[in-house]
Amino acid sequence: MLVVGLTGGIASGKSTVSRRLQENHKLPIVDADKIARDVVEPGQTAYKQIVSYFEGKVQNLLLEDGHLNRPELGKWVFSHPQDLKVLNKITHPAVRYAIFKALGYYYIRGYRMCVLDVPLLFEAHMDTICGVTISVVCDRSTQLERLQVRNVGMTLEEAENRIKSQMSTEERIIRSDYVLENNGTLLHLYDQINDVVKTIQPTFMRTSLEYFPPFGAVSATAVILSRMISSKFQQKKREQ
């Protein structure tokens, strides 16, 4: 099964692409955002750790029903980078486990492709398990405008902080196998999606071989090693 890593900066249009892949191309989606919400439900281990660390720091951390006040927590961590790292350390392991479980489910079901929708695909090193990576990008002014429209009351400074907390668009482009530009119309975006899907769609023969254990194991190992080597090479180039 080809795992397609889909990522993009906040308000870039990644969710639009994900929805199109699911509805129009009938591809299963493993949505890391949804999983991230599920793992911080009341009673979950990550929820207890978040409450223990952030209670007293974030005003109104909990809603009346006991759920996390995600907007307030988000506002805090995106203006306090060190606490954002703490939050990620709490949630990432639980999210990874749920992601691998979901991928295994679709593999058993016999799908040729599965989309792994992860905002922090490269930051969390989840690209190492993907055969193909796709980034959705747009220019900064469009990103800021969309972010403020969908978050009523968000200041320009808060919007800037959210964007700055993520990987730059330039680096996403360098790391990605395919890039979808989302500065224009939906029709233009859909045309780009169609072209990419046609290009990466695995053949029936390849899919059949990957379900044969020896070939599947070798194929998966090759993908992971290739991604790891590429990531280390890019890191060395950035450090030079």
pLDDT at 89 over 60: yes
Q: How far apart are CA 220 and CA 199, in angstroms?
A: 20
> Domain extents for the chain?
1-28+111-240, 34-110
pTM for the model stands at: 0.76
Span 4-15, pLDDT tens digits: 999 999 999 999
Domain spanning 1-28+111-240 has what CATH number? Answer: 3.40.50.300
Q: Report the pLDDT value the prediction gives residue 232, as an integer from 0 to 100.
A: 54
Q: Report the pLDDT value the prediction gives residue 218, as an integer from 0 to 100.
A: 46
The answer to whether 130 touches 222, Cβ cutoff 8 Å, is: no
Taking residues 193-199, report their average pLDDT.
96
Q: Are strands 113-117 and 178-181 parallel, antiparallel or unpaired?
A: unpaired
Taking residues 30-37, report their average pLDDT.
93
Orientation angle between helical segments 45-54 and 70-77, nearest 10 degrees: 60
**Hey, what amino acid is at 81?**
P
Local confidence band at 66 (pLDDT 50, 70, 90 cut-offs): very high
The answer to whether 99 touches 116, Cβ cutoff 8 Å, is: yes
Q: Which is nearest to 29 in space by CA: 103, 100, 91?
A: 103
pLDDT at 107 over 80: yes
Taking residues 166-191, report their average pLDDT.
94
Please, is 84 exposed, middle or buried when counting C-beta atoms within 10 Å of its C-beta (0-12, 13-18, 19+)? middle
**Hey, what amino acid is at 17?**
V
Taking residues 172-189, report their average pLDDT.
95
Q: How far apart are CA 14 and CA 11, in angstroms?
A: 7
User: From 3.40.1370.10, 3.40.50.920, 3.40.50.970, 3.40.50.300, which CATH number describes the 34-110 domain?
Assistant: 3.40.50.300
Taking residues 187-214, report their average pLDDT.
79
- Can you tell me which residue has the tokens 């090479």? 233
Q: Report the pLDDT value the prediction gives residue 207, as an integer from 0 to 100.
A: 56
- Can you tell me which residue has the tokens 């299963």? 28
DSSP 127: G
Local confidence band at 165 (pLDDT 50, 70, 90 cut-offs): confident
H runs (alpha helix) in 62-80 = 70-77
Local confidence band at 230 (pLDDT 50, 70, 90 cut-offs): low
Q: How many other CB atoms sit within 10 Å of the CB of residue 173?
A: 12
Identical fold for domains 1-28+111-240 and 34-110, yes or no, is yes
Cα within 13 Å of Cα(218), Cβ side = 6
- Can you tell me which residue has the tokens 């790292």? 85
